[in-house]
Amino acid sequence: MTNWTRRGFLGSLPAAAATLPLAAQQSGRRPAMKITDLRCAVIGRNPVVRIVTDQGISGYGQAESTKPYLKPMVLFYRDYLLGEDPTDVGRVMMKIRRMGAFKPWGSAVSAIEIALWDIAGQAAGVPVYKLLGGKIRDRVRAYNGGVRFPMTGQTPQDYAENMAKMKESKEGFTLIKQAVGFHNPAMMRAIPNGWYDEPRSGPPHADRGLLTERGLAHIVSCVEAMKKVLGSEIGLALDCGPGWTVKDAITFARALEPLHITWLEDLITGDYTPYPNAELFREVTQSTSLPIHTGEQIYLRENFKDLIEKQAVNVIGPDPEDVGGLAELKWIAEYADLHGILVAPHGIFDGLIGLAAHVHLAAALPQNYIAFEYPVGQPEWWYDIVEGLPNPTMKQGFIDVWDRPGLGVTFRVQAARARLAEEDRGFFD
C-alpha cells in the first residue's frame, strides 16, 4: 500500500472514522461507504448538489448559473443513488447516465458525477486529478469566460476599446473569446438589415438566417478591430452562433484567415440545440484554415462520435457540467486526441465549485488541451462562502493546480447557510 493511500484511509479520514471497528482501523480498511441522501439547493443562481454519506463525508457538484430551474431534475435521481458506494463512481453512473439527455437533464447527471469524485478523492485522501489518471501539467490555462467588460456600443471602435480593457485585466489572459454574429444579439440588432429575417424574441440565440453583405462586413470589421488591439500577443477566439448558413460560415472564416483567429465556435448549432450536425460542420471545416469549434451543448461520448470520427471540427468544447461529468469529458478528450482534434472545455457559468472541477480535469487532460473557459462566482459573494481557491485564483493566464483531497474547495458553512433560500434551510444539516 502506498504512503498516500495509507494516509488517505487512516490519517486523513474525517472524524467519523474514529467510530470504525478496531479491526478495520488496524487493517487500513473500512466498511463500504453508503450514500444516505442527495440534496440540491440553488445558491445565488447556481444549483448546488450535495451527496451525503454515512461516514461523515459529503461531496459537492454545481450546475451552471443559467439553470436555476434544475433542482427537481437533480432530485429525480435520488432514489437511484441511495445505498450506493459513492467511491464506485463508474457503478453509480451506470445507473443514471442512461437517463440523462442534452440540456438540462445532462446537467443534473454531470453535477452528481462531479460530487461523486469529490467524495472519492476525500475518502482516498488525494486530489481528484489523481483519480483521473494523475496530472500532466502543474498549472492550467484558462480563457476569459466569465470575465467580461460592458460594451458601450456596437461599432468596431467599441470592440477595440473593449479588447483593450480585456488585455489589461488582472487575470492576464493569454486567450480571449468574444461573442459575435448570432451569438451576440446586440451586435446583430445594431446592423440595419443585417440578415434576411427578423429578430426573434424569447430564448437566447434564436436568430438565424442568411447574412446580408452589410451584415457580414460589419462583423468582419469588428473582428479586425479587436485583433488589431490584441496583436499576436494574445489569442482571439470567436463565439459565433448558432444560426449561420454553411456558405456564410465559410465566407466569414475565409475573410478572417489572415488574422489567425484561434477558433470559430458554434457557427451551425450550439447551446440548447439537441444535435451536433456533423456533416454541416465538416463542410465548413474543410473549407477554411481557421479552426472550427463546437460541443458545449452535447451530452455523452456517443453524441461526439460523428464529430470526432468524421473530423467535422478541429476543436471540441464539452462542458463538464453538461457532458456527463469529469471522467466522461476526459474519455472524449482522449478519443479526440487520437483523431487529431483539440479540446477547449466550455464553462463560463460553471461557478466556483465548477472552477475547481475544471482545474482538476485540465491537469489530467492529454496534450490536445488548449484552455478551459474561466467561470467566476456570481454573485460576487460566492467568494465569501467557499474556501480553498488560490488567491489570486489566476496569475498571467494560468491557475496553479492544488493538492488538497477531493476537489479541494469547501463551503464556509455558516456564511453559506445565510445565503440559502427558506426551502433549502436543511441543505447543510
pLDDT, tens only, 30-51: 789 999 999 999 999 999 999 9
Residue 38: all three cell numbers together: 442527495
Q: Give the pLDDT confidence score for residue 272 in this predicted structure.
A: 81
- For domain 3-127+415-424, the CATH class is alpha beta
Q: How far apart are CA 11 and CA 66, in angstroms?
A: 40
Q: How far apart are CA 384 and CA 374, in angstroms?
A: 19
Q: Do 127 and 409 contact (CB within 8 A), yes or no?
A: no
- For the chain, 429 residues long, give each residue's pLDDT as a single digit of tens: 334 333 333 334 444 444 444 444 455 567 899 999 999 999 999 999 999 999 999 999 999 999 999 999 999 999 999 999 999 999 999 999 999 998 888 999 999 999 999 999 999 999 999 999 999 999 999 999 999 999 999 999 999 999 999 999 999 999 999 999 999 999 999 999 999 999 998 878 889 999 999 999 999 999 999 999 999 999 999 999 999 999 999 999 999 999 999 999 999 999 888 888 999 999 999 999 999 999 999 999 999 999 999 999 999 999 999 999 999 999 999 999 999 999 999 999 999 999 999 999 999 999 999 999 999 999 999 999 999 999 999 999 999 999 999 999 999 999 999 999 999 999 999
Q: Kindly report the CATH number that applies to the domain delimited by 139-407.
A: 3.20.20.120
Residues with Cβ within 8 Å of 301's Cβ and at least 6 positions away in sequence, in order, are: 324, 328, 331, 332, 335
Distance from chain centroid for Cα 164: 26
Query: Which residues of the chain does CATH 3.20.20.120 include?
Result: 139-407
Question: b/e for 392-425, b at 16 or more Cβ within 10 A?
Answer: ebbeebbbebbebbbbbbbbeeeebbebbeeebe
Query: Which residues of the chain does CATH 3.30.390.10 include?
Result: 3-127+415-424
Q: Which long-range contacts (CB under 8 A, 24 or more apart) does 30-34 make?
A: 30/55, 32/85, 33/57, 33/85, 33/86, 33/87, 33/119, 33/123, 34/83, 34/84, 34/85
Q: Give the pLDDT confidence score for residue 28 in this predicted structure.
A: 59
Q: Give the pLDDT confidence score for residue 22 in this predicted structure.
A: 46
The single-letter code of the amino acid at 52 is V
Q: Give the pLDDT confidence score for residue 305 in this predicted structure.
A: 98
Could you tell me the pTM of the whole model? 0.92
